[in-house]
Amino acid sequence: MARPSDTVPARILIVDDDPALREGLAETVGDLGHHPVLAASGAEALARLAAGPAIAAVLLDLRMPGELDGMAVLQRLRAGPRPPPVAVLTAYASAENTIEAMRLGAYDHLTKPVGRADLAGLLGGMLALSASQAPEVPAPAPASALIGSSEAMRRVQKAVGLAADSDATVLLQGETGTGKEVAARALHAHGRRQAGPFVPVNCAAIPPDLLESELFGHLRGAFTGATQDRPGAFREADGGTLFLDEIGDMPPSMQAKILRALQERVVTPVGGRPVPVTVRVVAATHRDLPRLVAEGGFRQDLFYRLNVVPITLPPLRERLADILPLAEHFLSVCGAGQKRLGAEAAAALMRHPWPGNVRELRNVIERAAVLARGAVIGAEDLGLSTSGSPSGMPDILPAWLDGDLPGAVARLEEAMIRRALRESGGNRARAAKSLGIQRQLLYAKIERYGLRDDPVSGYPTEGVLNPDAGPDD
């Protein structure tokens, strides 16, 4: 395939211990007009970077054998004086490695396989980035409870990783039960204020006449019942994070006082003098704040002050890939012993619309863990309604979920490969392109599923020199 005429060639370091994936990425990088430089280990990657000539961008596998895995290589790269942008690639994405990679300065964190179009966009962005403006390497972060590998949740994880070390105010938005406090705790746990306190305050649960004292504190004798001094949540969170949950329900009289505290970083206890505070504020609400502002129910200037870094938590119905991993996680943390989800229970979980989001899922799993009499949790143990299913959810879902999750994924993958080969007339190059994977990866999967001798995978025929050649080859 010809090199694009408007592409300036760049040296791209590809680090992966899997030869097929390494070569597949190299082929695509070359097709995009760049020069691939290959390394099979973290040590080899560092050696090639040190030897020169300059590397413009790095595609880095996360899991590699030896002492230098992808995260260790990333940390060493970012510690250099002029580090190239690095994209971390993994087949095993998790909340922890996503957040940690973004915190360590990764340009992006992608799940394998990476399609040609995605790789082209990724390299375009990386090569446009000035490496000299890359952030410094922060200290290692603790584990996070932000479970999920869906694209919607991975966007949240990346945003948390990028915002964690900042002092900027974060506004978490999303429906009730989507995990806004979990995200707030992740921001604190992965940030440089992690050694300080995390103080949550539910603004909707405190009577309006007590909210000022709860947030700003009071002196003894300031009002009836004030028998002793109280510092208040702002000062209790000094040096750490203050989480203002359900701030959309805050009464108007308090909104002006919160605005002043956010602007000046000074609080005035009831009956006392102004006191400076050093605190990072994370706010959350399930309400539509722009609509409340338009209706006069929320101060516009306070909304702008809160909405510095907005992060939206997706509802569970938009995170179908996360439902079963979340269910397994809740099952493991609720002390269920050896109990596990059966196929019909998994199908029921996938069919349910989840109006209560992640909180509802956790309650359902904890209830099932208590009520299930055997080692396998059945659909009847969940206590879910059998009527209704999420929009677009096929009725054949239980058949795909028959057995375990890896088996269901494998059956779906094999079916998609068969269809792509059939629609391409057996041309593997076109099939790989339609599937968004490298040709070598398709070959490996054809072997894995025993499709090499299947009529849909194509045969060399007389008069055809290369049955896999596309029209541009």
What's the CATH code of the domain at 46? 3.40.50.2300
What's the rounded Cα separation, in Å, for the pair 58 and 31?
17
Q: Is 64 in the same domain as 169? A: no
Q: Is 428 in the same domain as 395? A: no
The whole-number average pLDDT for the span 274-302 is: 95
Higher pLDDT residue, 3 or 177? 177
Q: What is the mean pLDDT of the chain?
A: 84
34: confidence class by pLDDT, cuts 50, 70, 90? very high
pLDDT for 411-448, tens place per residue?
777 878 888 888 888 888 888 888 878 888 888 888 88
Q: Is 379 in the same domain as 341? A: yes
Q: Is 23 in the same domain as 90? A: yes
235: confidence class by pLDDT, cuts 50, 70, 90? very high
Percent of the chain beyond pLDDT 90? 47
Q: How far is CA 107 from the centre of its chain?
A: 14
Answer for the pair 356, 384: CB distance below 8 angstroms, yes or no.
no
73: confidence class by pLDDT, cuts 50, 70, 90? very high
The whole-number average pLDDT for the span 197-216 is: 92
Give the pLDDT score at 408.
67
Indicate the range of 37-41, 202-206, 396-400 predicted with least confidence: 396-400
In a domain, 143, yes or no: no
Q: Is 198 in the same domain as 86? A: no
Please tell me the total count of domains within the chain: 4
144 pLDDT exceeds 60?
Answer: no
Q: Is 159 in the same domain as 305? A: yes
Percent of the chain beyond pLDDT 70? 85
Q: Is 308 in the same domain as 344? A: no
466 pLDDT exceeds 60?
Answer: no
Q: Is 389 in the same domain as 414? A: no
406: confidence class by pLDDT, cuts 50, 70, 90? low
Q: Is 178 in the same domain as 41? A: no
In a domain, 53, yes or no: yes
End position of a domain, from candidates 312, 331, 346: 312
Q: Is 253 in the same domain as 302? A: yes
In a domain, 4, yes or no: no
In a domain, 19, yes or no: yes
159 pLDDT exceeds 50?
Answer: yes
371: confidence class by pLDDT, cuts 50, 70, 90? confident
In a domain, 338, yes or no: yes
The whole-number average pLDDT for the span 343-357 is: 91
Indicate the range of 131-135, 172-176, 247-251 predicted with least confidence: 131-135
pLDDT for 1-19, tens place per residue?
444 545 678 999 999 999 9
Give the pLDDT score at 60.
94
Give the pLDDT score at 395.
43
In a domain, 145, yes or no: no
pLDDT for 51-66, tens place per residue?
878 899 999 999 888 7
254: confidence class by pLDDT, cuts 50, 70, 90? very high
In a domain, 321, yes or no: yes
End position of a domain, from candidates 387, 403, 419: 403
Indicate the range of 221-225, 246-250, 320-324 predicted with least confidence: 221-225
Q: Is 173 in the same domain as 38? A: no
What's the rounded Cα separation, in Å, for the pair 283 and 306?
7
In a domain, 101, yes or no: yes
Give the pLDDT score at 448.
80
Give the pLDDT score at 223.
77
Give the pLDDT score at 78.
86
The whole-number average pLDDT for the span 212-225 is: 85
| Residue 37, domain extent | 11-133
Q: Is 90 in the same domain as 158? A: no
Give the pLDDT score at 398.
45
Q: What is the pTM of this model?
A: 0.70
134 pLDDT exceeds 70?
Answer: no
The CATH code of the domain that includes 270 is 3.40.50.300
